[in-house]
Amino acid sequence: MLPAGPSLNITGGAQRGSNLFHSFEAFSVGQGQAAFFLVDNAAIQTVLARVTGNQRSDILGRLGVRASGGLAGGDPPINLFLINPNGVFFGPNASLDLRGSFGVTTATAVQFGDQGSFSAVPPTAVPLLTVQPTALLFGRGAPAGIEVQAGEIDLFGSPSGLVVEDGQNLLVVAGNVTLDSGILIAQNGRIDIAALGEAGAVPLTGVGNVQGNNALVPGSLGALARADLAILNQSGVNVSANLGGEISVQADDVTIDGGSILIAGIDQADPRDPFGLLGLGGDRQAGDITIDATGLVRIAQGSSINNGAIFGGNGGGITLSGRAVELLTGGYIGSASSSGTSKDVVINATESITLSGFSQPGQFVDFFSGLSALLPLLGALPPEFLGARASGIVNYVTPSPLLIALNRPPAVEAGGIQLRAPVISLQDGGIGTPNLGAGGDTGDIEIWVDRLDVMRGARLISTSNGAGDAGDISIRPFDSGAFGSQPGGQPGGDRRLFFSGPSVGIFSSVEPRGVGRAGNIALETDGLILLEDGARLQSTSLGRGDAGNISIVAGDRLRLDQGIILSDIANTGIGNGGAVRIEAGNLELQNNAVIRTATFGQGDAGEIEIGVGDRSSFDGASLLSSRVDGRGIGHGGRISLRTGDLAVLNGSQFVTNTSGLGDAGPIAIAATGSVMIQGTEASGIASIVSSQVNPGGRGDGGDISIQAAQLSLLDGAQVVAATEGFGDAGSVRFNIGADLRLDGRNPITRRSSGIFTNNGTPGSGSGIGTGLGGDIDLSAQSLTLSNGAVLNARTANGQAGGDIGLSLSDLQILSGAQIISTSDGDGPAGTVQLNATNGLVIAGTDPDYLVRQAQFGLAIAPLTASSGIYLRSTGNGAAGNVTIGSGTILGTPRLSLSDGAELIADSNAVNGGNITLNLTEVVLMSNGSFIGASAGRAQGAGNGGNILINSPSVLSLPGENNDIIANAFSGSGGQITVAAEAINGFELQPNQPDVALLRANRTNDITVNATSGTTGTLDLQNFNVDPSQGAAELPLDLSDPSNQISRQCSADTIARSKFVVTGRGGLPESIGETAASVGAWDAAWIELPAQLSQARSEQAQSPQVQSAQAPVSPGSVSPGPASPVK
């Protein structure tokens, strides 16, 4: 026991080589007391003092080493080692006074290689120990602990606590180690803390520190149980200076709390260049901070770990390892560099990593003076990360956890951040690698995790605000092999990446002053990726450089519920947008979710490429978009989607529009199952797939292609490849294996479901824009258009409308649905060419059409209430042409028009269009149907169009107002040519040019009249039949009379039935007789005029085969009842 006194000199001891050994029954330094080990031999390098009794050492005053009066040169750098197995306590006023390093331990002995040990329990004689210590031996139970309360931060003077001189080292090895308002400082040196939980040996290794001095470093504790380290209540561990030192911690649980700090790095100018005028010091390398824990590492309440290089040089690395790591309530981990590289921040956890919590108002962290230069840099970070305020000279508050690697000009390269744990939770804080104007690349953020939760404002950020690229951000499975196979991973069902809340997400950007590329963002899991409530993944260029790519792999599903994925070029940006690439088992977007690439500045938008194994669903006004904004200069990106089934519902949209200077991107959808596009959201926004040129846009629209087993566009859904700007519309191509269905109207805006490739506002008749309309090319087993749905390739400007081509088995146009290729401007309408191998049915009207038209006017797409095909011209452009069928065995067999259906190629003031029907069986018209190619609908000029019908039969029930008209007003009537075996039910109306009146009567009319011009041509020809083709042998018994007699009318039955003979109709009494003119079927036979009879006679002399029943022939007839052909 040291005697009382203000200053005590400890002499004597046993010298062995360069070591001086002291033994004490008890050893403490009282309050206000100073105790110095005196050394009088220049060979002494290390003083070792052991306590052999059973009392802990209380160091309440100053402890040090001094040279005796006879030693020349002043106090040498002699190391001091204090050994007390009972524990050591450093009080609030404790301090060190020595020029060498200091070590304190609760080991029972110090091993010196194979020379023996210096033991405190049991005490032994000092053997010949002439070498450096090689191990600390803990020989009984759980080792005692060490507590440090010494220290005080004095910004105007030298800090107190356990402080060694510049370049020296501190070593603390014990059981539990506690710093409670305690300070450890070894500027440019090394601090090692090891907390051991059981008996065992801790190896000591000689390692050079950053200044080249030899340091005794505890080796790995290996499999030994560990005790805890607590750094509390504004405690500090500091090795920073003009070179920067190293900090190493080994423990079970590590707690850094209450505004405490671990700081390394370079926070002073190079002594050779104190004002930074000579550019010296760039080669300086800060040391690393390493925390190796087997339990929980917790950094909380504004505490921090910092390892930067603020005054030149290279920042050091930070590595945290533990069962779990928590960064809470304003905790901060950072690496910053002002003119050099920064090393990585690496966090490994076998179970979980958590960033969470806000600090309370007024909680400040008082930093060492060396950190003061860092504060302006940290203050330049986004406000969601942290805030700084003045309190005294240097006070700093971080309202949320922060993990950051930082650089500043003219940096070379910033360090990255690595996190590895099965479970990571980020809440209220951020992880970032910002470049605050630096001249180098920022580091990457790499996370290996199975279950990630990012919530309550937490962010991962990589930015470049100088000449350098922003770092990449990647998240991959914990056991993905990046560090080899890892234990403790989550089962497949529990694997997820979860982002929730506004401003939450991953952000990579080139800032307005930046020149470089934004970082890539990559997420991968074999489970679920969920972005909800405004969470986002975003890569943006606001400066000169490309936005980064975003790639996502979700083995189970990717779900965006109000989630957002963006890769944009901002209005200040110059560069190309990044691509978005997604591979997922299932894809779900709902509630205004967004996936977008866009250019608002100068550069092309990125492409969007999505592959989904099972089902893709876009619901609730969700958006998949690649667009060129009105201020943008560049092309929109391509959208491609591969999936099983696809649903685009309730106002969701696929959009690649251009409003600026550049082409819209194409859209390609390939589904092995069904595609459904349906419905609207509450305000009336329809579900839509669109690639168009918007008003003011200068560029071409993109093509839209869809391949699927089935496709439905319902309740106002639309596919649009139109142009309203200065560019051509794109084309629409569908390849559908089975059924293609377009049905219904928008319940709010009443706009039709449909496909639009018009050049002009769809359905408005607007002349906006100058481009060509796009084509529509559809292939399917069956196509059904119903309830006002449309195919619309109209032109509303001076350019040609698009063409429509349909290759089908069955086509039905029902209930006011329409195929439209009309001209509302100066450009010609397009053509419609269709083939339906099982036939075409056009039937019915839209009962709500007049109500819709009264309410919305030209905004609705259909031209009339009728179902039909329209190639009308309402302006100066030519009407279009339509061809139905090919006339071959693989062509269209039948065309049925009924219940007001229309097939129209007429015009207001130009020539009517052409209608060509090549049918292999029949054209059947009933109940007010209409085929028309008239001109001069508005009493204008133009000749009637041409109608050519090639069909074995053209049939119409009498008195149903089914008309075929090619009239004109001031021009010539058109030409109607019918080549058929039978034409039944029609009347010629040679003196009635008024189409409206013809459509109002009850007769079935064929006319080519003109109001003030020349009558057209009506040519009714024999159907060209080769009797050698398709002949079949008839049975010898052509008729069995017994099969023609009803047994219900037998004479011996009760007189309940009647058999009435009403006539032979169009049948002859025998196959050798002609038909009589009486009967139930009044065929309204037409008597041929003499001159046409002669023409018919001449035709009969040709090699064409006539049918047994004479066809209808054209001619001039007087009004009144028609006569049968004689």
Confidence at residue 862, expressed as pLDDT on a 0 to 100 scale: 84
Residue-wise pLDDT for 1102-1117, tens only, equals 323 233 333 333 333 2
Q: Please give the C-alpha separations between residue 227 and each of 201, 230, 609, in angstroms, as whole numbers.
A: 14, 10, 52
* HEC sequence for 903-941: EECCECCCCCCEEEEEEEEEEEEECCCEEECCCCCCCCC
Confidence at residue 54, expressed as pLDDT on a 0 to 100 scale: 94
For the record, the structure tokens of 746 come out as 């928008």
Average pLDDT over residues 278-296: 74
CB 1114 within 8 A of CB 1092: yes
Pick 74 or 647 by higher pLDDT. 647
Residue 972: burial class (beta carbons within 10 Å; 0-12, 13-18, 19+): buried
As a whole number of angstroms, the distance between CA 250 and CA 247 comes to 10
Pick 542 or 768 by higher pLDDT. 542
pLDDT at residue 63 tops 90: yes
Please enumerate in sequence order all residues whose Cβ is within 8 A of that of 968, keeping only pairs 6 or more positions apart, or say none.
912, 934, 935, 936, 942, 943, 944, 974, 993, 1009, 1010, 1011, 1013, 1016
Confidence at residue 6, expressed as pLDDT on a 0 to 100 scale: 81
Confidence at residue 496, expressed as pLDDT on a 0 to 100 scale: 93
Average pLDDT over residues 762-768: 46
Confidence at residue 551, expressed as pLDDT on a 0 to 100 scale: 97
Confidence at residue 748, expressed as pLDDT on a 0 to 100 scale: 86
pLDDT band at 790 (very low <50, low <70, confident <90, very high): very high
Residue-wise pLDDT for 1028-1085, tens only, equals 444 434 444 444 444 444 444 444 443 433 434 344 444 444 434 444 443 333 434 4
pLDDT band at 36 (very low <50, low <70, confident <90, very high): very high
Beta strands in 962-1063 (DSSP E): 963-965, 975-980, 982-984, 987-988, 1005-1007, 1017-1022
Question: Considering the chain, what is the average pLDDT of its residues?
Answer: 80
Confidence at residue 153, expressed as pLDDT on a 0 to 100 scale: 61
pLDDT at residue 359 tops 70: no
CB 982 within 8 A of CB 989: no
1098: enclosing H helix or E strand: helix 1090-1100
Confidence at residue 69, expressed as pLDDT on a 0 to 100 scale: 67
pLDDT band at 1120 (very low <50, low <70, confident <90, very high): very low
H helices of 254-348, in order, are none
pLDDT band at 341 (very low <50, low <70, confident <90, very high): low
Q: Look up residue 1072 and give its DSSP letter.
A: T
Pick 254 or 331 by higher pLDDT. 254
Pick 1074 or 1009 by higher pLDDT. 1009
pLDDT band at 268 (very low <50, low <70, confident <90, very high): low
Confidence at residue 1044, expressed as pLDDT on a 0 to 100 scale: 46
Residue-wise pLDDT for 210-224, tens only, equals 444 556 788 888 899
Confidence at residue 786, expressed as pLDDT on a 0 to 100 scale: 96
Residue-wise pLDDT for 146-204, tens only, equals 999 998 766 555 778 999 999 899 999 999 999 999 999 998 899 999 999 999 999 98
Average pLDDT over residues 655-680: 93
Confidence at residue 251, expressed as pLDDT on a 0 to 100 scale: 97
Average pLDDT over residues 665-669: 96
Q: Please give the C-alpha separations between residue 236 and each of 152, 561, 748, in angstroms, as whole numbers.
A: 9, 44, 66
Write down the pTM of the prediction: 0.80
Mean pLDDT is lowest, of 709-723, 770-784, 1023-1037, for 1023-1037
Confidence at residue 624, expressed as pLDDT on a 0 to 100 scale: 96
Confidence at residue 430, expressed as pLDDT on a 0 to 100 scale: 74
Please enumerate in sequence order all residues whose Cβ is within 8 A of that of 1040, keeping only pairs 6 or more positions apart, or say none.
none
Cα distance from N-terminal residue to C-terminal residue, the chain:
147
Average pLDDT over residues 769-774: 79
For the chain, how are helix, strand and coil distributed in percent, rounded to 5?
5, 45, 55
pLDDT band at 284 (very low <50, low <70, confident <90, very high): low
pLDDT band at 980 (very low <50, low <70, confident <90, very high): very high
Average pLDDT over residues 587-592: 97
Instruction: Please list the residues that pair with 185 across neighbouring strands.
Output: 163, 238
Average pLDDT over residues 709-726: 91
Residue-wise pLDDT for 190-212, tens only, equals 999 999 999 999 998 875 554 44
| Closest CA relative to residue 973, chosen from 950, 960, 989 | 989
Percent of the chain with pLDDT over 90: 44
* Annotated domain spans of the chain: 7-135
pLDDT at residue 1118 tops 70: no
Query: Between β-strands 135-138 and 109-111, what pairing exists: parallel, antiparallel or unpaired?
Result: antiparallel
Pick 393 or 279 by higher pLDDT. 279
Q: 1036 — alpha (psi -120 to 50), left (phi > 0) or beta?
A: alpha
Residue-wise pLDDT for 492-535, tens only, equals 457 999 999 998 999 988 888 878 888 899 999 999 999 999 99
As a whole number of angstroms, the distance between CA 921 and CA 926 comes to 16
As a whole number of angstroms, the distance between CA 1105 and CA 265 comes to 104
Pick 313 or 182 by higher pLDDT. 182
For the record, the structure tokens of 825 come out as 């401007």
Residue-wise pLDDT for 548-577, tens only, equals 999 999 999 999 999 999 999 888 889 898
As a whole number of angstroms, the distance between CA 1005 and CA 1022 comes to 20
Confidence at residue 948, expressed as pLDDT on a 0 to 100 scale: 96
Average pLDDT over residues 112-132: 83
Q: 1062 — alpha (psi -120 to 50), left (phi > 0) or beta?
A: alpha
Confidence at residue 339, expressed as pLDDT on a 0 to 100 scale: 54
As a whole number of angstroms, the distance between CA 751 and CA 745 comes to 5
Confidence at residue 791, expressed as pLDDT on a 0 to 100 scale: 94
Mean pLDDT is lowest, of 94-108, 457-471, 586-600, 643-657, for 457-471
Mean pLDDT is lowest, of 311-320, 646-655, 985-994, for 311-320
